[in-house]
Amino acid sequence: MPDPVLSINDLVVEFKTEDGIVHAVDGVSYDLFPGETLGIVGESGSGKSVSTLALLGLIPQPPGRIVSGTAMFKGRDLLKLKKKELRRVRGNDVAMVFQDPMTSLNPVLTVGSQLGEAIKTHYPDEKDDAVKKRVIDLLNLVGVPNAETRYGQYPHEFSGGMRQRAMIAMAITNSPSLLIADEPTTALDVTIQAQVLEVMKRVQKETDAATILITHDLGIVAEMCERVLVMYAGHIVESGTVETIFRAPRHPYTIGLMDSLPKLTEDEEWLQPITGAPPSLIDLPPGCPFHPRCFLAREKCRQENPPLKPVDGGAGHASACHFSEELIGRKSKFSEEAVV
C-alpha cells in the first residue's frame, strides 16, 4: 500500500463561547491515500467541516483552538506550520472548495481576476497573458461556456452552478495533491448538483488529486466516493468502503441514517427519522455521544466512550460502538441493491 497523502491523528478542536466550550472535533484520526476520494458524512454540528478547516488553518483562532493532534501531509505537520509556510500550501498543494458559491466569491472583483489571483499568489513571476490563458483553459475544463467573455464578468453574472464550477477551477489551478470539497453541491438545485458532480469527477480524473468530499447527502457519497467516514458529535463513529457501509453498516447511527432515506423501489408509508435531537456540543456527558438516541444503548454506553475498533467484514471497516457485533448480519435498507 502506498503511503498516505494525509494522515490525521487524534485531532481535537474546540471553540470558546459565551455558553461554554464547544467540543467541535473530539479526537479524529484517519488516513487518506493518493488518488482516492474519501467522503465524510454527518449532520450539521458533527464536526465534519471544522476538521478540514483546521487543516488549512482557516479556523478563527480567538474563539477556536486546535487543542491537540497532528496532520501529516507530505512529511510535514500542517497544524504546526508557521503562517508563511501554511500560506504556501494553501491553494497550492492543498485546495478547498466551499459550500455556498453565492458568497464564496468576491462580488466586486471579476471572476477572471480571482482565478488569476490563485495563480499569481504562488507564481508571481508569471506573465499576465499566460495567466489569463491558463484561467480560460480552466474555465473550459470545468465547462463554463464562453470562457473568454466570462473571464471579465462578475460573480453576480454567473449562475449558481457556474459559480461553483469557477470555484472548482480556482481550486485545481495549481494542481493540488489534496482537494477538500466542503458540501460543494448543498446550495445548488438538484439538477445543477448532478452537473457539478460530473465536473468534479472530470477534474479528479485530470488531476488525480486525493479528495475529501464532505456532505450530508448519502446519495452523493454513493456516487462519488470510495471510502467514507461517518461523523457524529465530533467523533468518527464508523469508517469503511462505500460498499461495506451501505451494505452492512455496523453502527446504530449509520443504520439510522440509512433507514431514514426513502427508497425508490418500494412504497413507504412513513419516513423513519432517528428519534431525539442532535446533542449540544458544550456539555457532552461521558460515554457514547449517540447513546440518548440509540436503540442499542446500555449502561456501558452511558459511561464509556467507545473507541473506533476494526470490525470484521470489510477491509478497513471500523465502528465506534460497544455492541457492534450485535449488528452483524443485520441488513441495511440497501443491502439488496447494487451499490456503486
Partner 1 sequence: MLTYIVRRILYSIPVLFFSTFLSFIFVAYAGNPLAQLRSNPRFSEQTVQNMTHQLHLDMPVVERYFLWLQDVFTHKLGNSLYTGQALWPQITRTMGHTAQFIIISEVLALILGVSIGIYSAIRQYSVFDYVFTSISFLGFAMPTFWLALLLQIAFTDIFLHYNVRIFYTSGLNSLPGGPAWSWDRLQHLALPIATLCIISFALYSRYMRASMLDVINSDYVRTARAKGVSEWRVIMRHVFRNALIPITTVAALNFGALLGGAIVTETIFSLDGIGFFFIQSLNTLDLYAVMAYLLITAIAVVVFNLIADIAYGFLDPRIRYD
Partner 2 sequence: MTEASRPPQGPLAPSDDSLFPSAQGLEGENIAPGSVVAAVDDTHAAGLDLKVRSQWSYARMRFFRHRLALVGLFGLVIIFGAGIFAGFITPYTYSEIDLNHILQGPSHAHYFGTDALGRDEYTRVIWGIRTSMEVGVFVAAVSTVVGLVIGAVAGYYGGWLDNLLMRVTDLVLTLPLLAILLTATALLGQGNQWRVSLILVFFFWTGIARVVRGIFLSLREKEYVEAAKASGAGDARLMFRHILPNTLGPIVVNATLAVGTAILVEAALSFLNFGIKPPTPSLGVLVSEAQANPSTPTGGTTWWLTVFPGLTIVAIVLCVNFVGDGLRDALDPTQRRMRA
- The single residue among 98, 158, 246, 334 that binds partner 1, judged by CB under 8 A, is 98
Amino acid identity of residue 331, one-letter, is K
List residues near partner 2 by CB under 8 A: 15-20, 22, 24, 42-50, 62-63, 275-285, 291-293, 302
Tallying the residues shown for the chain, one arrives at 340
Q: Does 159 bind partner 1 (CB under 8 A)?
A: no
88 contributes a contact to partner 1 by CB under 8 A: yes
Residues contacting residue 124 through CB under 8 Å, at least 6 positions apart: none
Q: What one-letter code names the amino acid at 162?
A: M
From the list 86-94, 239-247, 280-288, 312-320, the region that binds partner 1 by CB under 8 A is: 86-94
Contacts of 72 (CB under 8 A, 6+ apart): 4, 6, 7, 8, 9, 78
Nearer to partner 1, 104 or 324 (CB): 104
50 binds, among partner 2, partner 1, none (CB under 5 to 8 A by kind): partner 2
Taking CB under 8 A as the criterion, the residue among 44, 68, 106, 146 binding partner 1 is 106
Which stretch, 56-64, 72-80, 250-258, 307-315, contacts partner 1 (CB under 8 A)? 56-64
In the bound state with partner 1, the residue whose beta carbon lies nearer, of 126 and 259, is: 126
Residue identified by cell 465506534 is: 320
Q: Are 293 and 257 in contact (CB under 8 A)?
A: no
Output the smallest distance, CB 60 to partner 2, in A. 9
Q: Which is nearer to partner 1, 89 or 258 (CB)?
A: 89
Q: What is the rounded CA–CA span in Å between residue 106 and residue 154?
A: 9
Q: In the chain, which ranges are continuous DSSP H helix?
A: 48-55, 83-89, 111-122, 128-141, 147-151, 160-172, 190-207, 218-224, 242-247, 252-260, 299-303
For partner 2, the closer CB: 219 or 276: 276
Indicate the residue among 44 and 68 with the shorter CB distance to partner 2.
Answer: 44
Shortest distance, position 13 Cβ to partner 2, whole Å? 11
Least Å distance between CB 180 and partner 2?
A: 14
Task: Report which of 313, 330, 317 is spatially closest to residue 256, judged by C-alpha positions.
Answer: 330
Binding residues for partner 1, rule: CB under 8 A, are 56, 58, 60, 83, 87-92, 95-96, 98, 100, 103-109, 117-118, 121-122, 154, 156, 167, 170
